Amino acid sequence: MRFDILNRSTYDHIYSGEADSLGELVQNAVRIGVNLSEANLMGVDLSGADLKTARLARAYLYAANLSGAELSQADLSGAKLSKADLTNANLSHANLSGANLHRCVLVGADLSHADLTAADLIGVNLCNANLSASTMVGAFLTRADLTGADLTSADLSRAEMLMTRGVAPRQTFFGTVSRKQAARAG
């Protein structure tokens, strides 16, 4: 079957090809190095997909299934991932700066060393996620659930954490989270 990946704003063709599904076409495009920045991938099933080093800046991945996906070192800066399922996804060393992850499920996800600067993490479920050495400077974590998350050496400078679960009451992180603070948060 033939599928097209379109630009989310202009509807121009980014990549086209034969595949069994749109998810398979996306994986093929990433494998050969196609830049999928600003791609419209709303609701696509990419569960378990190998998208390591994918270029998905400003891509529209609203409600996409990325559970178990390999997204290490991917560029998702400015991407819209609202309501996406990223359960157990590997996002280590990924660039998610300015990304909209509003109400995402990131249970058990690996976000170690990820850049989440100014990311919208409002209402995100980060239970048991690995956020060690991640950068969350100025991130919005209002109503996020960090229960069991590893925040060791995470930088939460200027992060907004109103009504955030899994963080000790009145606990505020300024700068890098120490192992002691991370233990109390979990």
pTM of this structure: 0.90
pLDDT, tens only, 69-97? 999 999 999 999 999 999 999 999 999 99
Closest CA to 59 of 48, 68, 71: 71
Asked whether the predicted pLDDT for residue 65 surpasses 90, the reply is yes
pLDDT at 107: 98
> Per residue, what are the HEC states of the chain?
CEEEEEECCCCCEEEEEECCCHHHHHHHHHHCCCCCCCEECCCCECCCCECCCCECCCCECCCCECCCCECCCCECCCCECCCCECCCCECCCCECCCCECCCCECCCCECCCCECCCCECCCCECCCCECCCCECCCCECCCCECCCCECCCCECCCCECCCCECCCCCCCCCCECCHHHHHHHC
Asked whether the predicted pLDDT for residue 182 surpasses 90, the reply is no
**Strand 13-18 relative to strand 2-6, pairing:** antiparallel
pLDDT at 167: 78
Percentage of the chain beyond pLDDT 70 is 90
The average pLDDT across 136-158 equals: 96
CA distance 116 to 81: 13
Superfamily of domain 39-186: E3 ubiquitin-protein ligase SopA (2.160.20.80)
Percentage of the chain beyond pLDDT 90 is 89
Contact 145, 165 (CB under 8 A): yes
Q: Which residue has the tokens 């998702």?
A: 76
Q: Show me where the domains of the chain are located.
A: 39-186
Q: Which residue has the higher pLDDT, 182 or 118?
A: 118
C-alpha pair distances (Å), 8 with each of 17, 19, 24, 107, 152: 18, 21, 19, 28, 36
Asked whether the predicted pLDDT for residue 171 surpasses 50, the reply is no
Confidence tier at 176 by pLDDT (50, 70, 90) = low
